[in-house]
């Protein structure tokens, strides 16, 4: 929530004043002027926060970073193959976080294209 509040506050004061001078009410200002600009700024930190949430909490209450790391340690102690085990652990987390990052890039690209067309 703080990410979005900060992004709305980052929109230049002149944008607020310009939309008010056009006779827009608060809701119209937010809908047509402020939020479109704030969304472009908010996408990267929101996705970064989402990736942190995935890594920091249990995913569907089954796989969590601590649980998977601990399981990797247990398997490493039993097999004495730390590179293989921790490589697989890293691949699992890559598979969880990469789609979020990729979707963020796609969303940013769409927002930037929409911005350039106006």
Q: Which pair of structure tokens corresponds to residue 87?
A: 């490589």
Question: Hey, which of 26-40, 57-71, 101-115 has the most confident mean pLDDT?
Answer: 26-40
pLDDT at position 27 is 95
pLDDT tens digits along 6-63: 999 999 999 999 999 999 999 999 999 999 999 988 888 888 887 777 766 655 445 5
* 25 dihedral zone (left: phi>0; alpha: psi -120 to 50; beta): beta
Residue 61 confidence (pLDDT): 47
* pTM to 2 decimal places: 0.58
Residue with tokens 């937010």: 30
CA gap 3, 52 in Å, rounded:
14
């Amino acid at each position: 929530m703080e990410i979005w509040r900060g992004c709305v506050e980052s929109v230049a004061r002149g944008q607020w004043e310009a939309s008010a001078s056009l006779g827009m009410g608060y809701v119209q200002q937010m809908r047509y002027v402020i939020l479109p600009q704030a969304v472009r700024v908010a996408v990267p930190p929101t996705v970064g926060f989402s990736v942190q949430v995935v890594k920091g909490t249990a995913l569907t209450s089954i796989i969590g970073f601590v649980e998977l790391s601990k399981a990797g340690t247990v398997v490493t102690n039993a097999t004495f193959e730390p590179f293989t085990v921790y490589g697989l652990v890293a691949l699992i987390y890559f598979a969880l976080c990469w789609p979020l990052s990729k979707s963020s890039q796609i969303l940013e690209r769409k927002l930037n294209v929409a911005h350039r067309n106006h």
